[in-house]
Structure 1
Amino acid sequence: MILDRRTLLTSLALAPSIALAREAASVWTFDFETHDKPYDPRAGHGWEPGPGRLFSVKVPEGDYRVTLDLGGDQASETTVKAEARRLMLESVGVAAGKTETRTLIVNVRRPDLAPPPPNAPGGTHVLLNAREEGSFDWDDKLTLEFSGPTAAVRRARIEPVTVPTVFLAGDSTVTDQRFEPAAGWGQMLPRFFKPELSVANHAESGETLKSFLIERRLDKLLAQIKPGDWLLIQFGHNDQKTQWPQSYAEAATTYRDYLRVYAAEARRRDASPVFVTSMHRHRFDAAGKVVDTLGDYPNAMRETARELNAPLIDLHAMSAVFYEALGPREAWKAFNDGGKDLTHHNNYGAYQLARCVVEGLRANVPALAAHLSADLAPFDPARPPLPDTFALPPSAAASQEAPRGN
């Protein structure tokens, strides 16, 4: 069935019989028919209220293989996102009357932590901030979003799976931004991997290496990481803020020490740390060159990576090439809020920065690069696609709330 503007709110749905079959323990299959059924906590599945086409299934925390049969009676083009706008499938075209089967891997998590032993320090939950309340990233559901004016889906099968995982620790420029038009490169990253690997994006707005630890986000991540996984680490934008004394980390000392701790904790669990330098902000000098606002932090990360013999993706350097290729006249089109936001990106900017990260993986993390999608052409940040040629169906949910941290 095609999801066009006339039928977005009424056409695609579960049949009155709920069209749900539990094939086996922890396996869900759905046939999408003609009658809309909203999400029912008792049934544990259904369409989310509000704009857009978001279908949720209540599942335990973990990784899930989702197999989708896309297509309808008319020609369709479907983009699939998961949880809080994570890009999973991009513009899958299907001819009229045909079906294309695609598979994706979705990570689902809760803020719960295992209780610490009696008289031991710790807590039982990640300390979420107010803007995370109600987010699909932290609830007990797996949520899929079908985007595009002709999006169409016939069936879905959801089953738990154990696969290698890429964990992301970072700030607002990495996180799954909840609302349009903001986006982080981490929420674009799943689109670039084969459906044999999970991306678990634990990054959050306003975070520093220190606050990420204090809020038990690192505890949550380390509780899930396993041998053979990867941990991508990008901090710096907020660590440099001396006006945030409780989370400030000096580049020459504590910033490097925290990086060593993160890397050591990953390695203690037989996972591989990968450092990612922070991208530039949107500032140019009179000659059209990017102005560096990050001080000693990128170089501190480079030196720590060399010291620890850890792979490094130099997004700081690649972002300068990317912005300067666009130039002052066009670079604002990569940033949030019509370019008024000098730090955070929109879908176009986040997508191109994710492409930069992918190129860094190809060059420096071959074991992880082996999981990249086979259809990816090489990306040159000096020759990016122009912003006006980029098209990604936006999510229906909208907000004027700006990302926290700059």
Structure 2
Amino acid sequence: MAHLPQVKIPATYIRGGTSKGVFFRLQDLPERCQVPGAARDTLFMRVIGSPDPYSAHIDGMGGATSSTSKCVILSKSSQPEHDVDYLYGQVSIDKAFVDWSGNCGNLSTAAGAFAIHAGLIDPARIPENGTCVVRIWQANIQKTIIAHVPVTDGQVQETGDFELDGVTFPAAEIVLEFLDPSDDGEEGGSMFPTGNLVDDLEVPGIDTFKATMITAGIPTVFVNAEDIGYRGTELREEINGDPAQLARFEQIRIAGALRMGLIKTAEEAATRQHTPKIAFVSPPKDYRTSSGKDVKAGEIDLLVRALSMGKLHHAMMGTCAVAIGTAAAIPGTLVNLAAGGGEREAVRFGHPSGTLRVGAQAKRVDGQWTVTKAVMSRSARILMEGWVRVPAESF
């Protein structure tokens, strides 16, 4: 039997924030994968190594976690006053699908840096030394992100002394601005789709929980740690090693998705794993991070733990950090109350790997809460570049 050779596709493997993914320029993809559809999804699954019943991604570029099973496409922007269009695909680990329903805030950092690396920015816009401002159109959620990327000798500066909890080594700081991050295009049509800052969320067969459901950065369902039997100081192993608790979190997530209008039936949640996120919050407490560092209650405003693709995240998703910062800025949400209540423009929260500061500017207009932007710092670094190879018959 004749076998087709592998196909070589130019690609770059980049860490962005506490995630990493395989980045492509749109024009470098095979022609049939340059448009949305089954061919593109199948290609990305094969690049990552999914679906993998072993949950190991041995035969692909993925790392068998939600943080490392990601693909990104960048192209010259189709939108006025933007530099690049950035499209993000969250590849399921053990199922055959790619979720296009949301953004990755961590890889948004890498999108700004990659835009420069990949020659998608006008060279006249890139300083010899200084900061290059990259205006990104986030195509999944139709929002603007501004990346402030450091440049040295005309190239993206990747090394530096900026430390990000959840990332082993320091790197150069990239500041991200998420403009108008509320996902008001969702079916709910509001930053708070239910119209309430706090709801009683009934989870069939389990219980009813207080919940703040918000669509800023990424649709997120926040519940109180204490209400679901946790302290808020848990690390990954304490959650991810308990299938019964993971199943309970998924039921809470599904109930939230239904209340937010993101899905019409519970069955739809199986093909929308990336959104909404489910997170639990608590007032500050002393705890020890996954790296063994001690965080004191006085160093943070609150504790947050969040799940991504059915597992507790090892640090914090960037988009969920935007949701945290936004909710914290609005008096009366569960996030705001866990942080002590009142008005605030920034919070520092504790997550399993350490702490993160995020700022948000929220205001009330005609009785509705809006957020003009959220700001946080991350870093990005190219890990490898060249070609990724996939069997020709696989897509």
With normalisation by structure 1, the TM-score equals 0.25
With normalisation by structure 2, the TM-score equals 0.26
Which structure has the higher relative contact order (CA within 8 Å, separation 6+)? 2
Higher share in strand: 2
